[in-house]
Amino acid sequence: MPSQSSRTPFQPGLEAQVDFMTELTRQTSDSVRKFSELNLHFAQQLLEDSFDATSRLMACSNPFQLPSAAALAAQPAWEHLRHYQQQLVRMLTGAQVDLARNTPLLPEASAYTKGLFASTRGDGASDAASGTRH
């Protein structure tokens, strides 16, 4: 009677694929979390900038000063937008590097599993793959 602890020939390839998917899922959830935090922070900054701009515009007593006051009030929002874009590019670049670091694991696991399938199928499987029947 075979022991329960014996490994099947497919187990190393399957474990490699599970490890790859686990790492991919972890990296994806980390990226989504970072992206959400970045968006929330940016939205909070925009709200604060909007309140400040509104206060400045409401404080203008001369209507001819409104365009210059609006331009001055918009400056912090533009700076926050530029900072947001820089952080977004940095975050996406980091996520791409992380994915590129882990993608070499998948071809090894796939090649191992394909090799096992090919060796266990024999001649009948190659006939089935080519579409012929006996």
One digit per residue, the tens of pLDDT, for the chain of length 134 reads: 455 556 677 777 778 788 888 888 998 999 999 999 999 999 999 999 999 999 988 988 888 888 988 898 889 999 999 999 999 999 999 988 888 887 776 666 566 666 666 766 654 444 444 444 44
Please state the pTM of the whole predicted model: 0.64
**Dist CA 37 CA 52 (whole Å):** 23
Q: Please, what is the Cα angle at 115 between 109 and 117, to 5 degrees?
A: 105
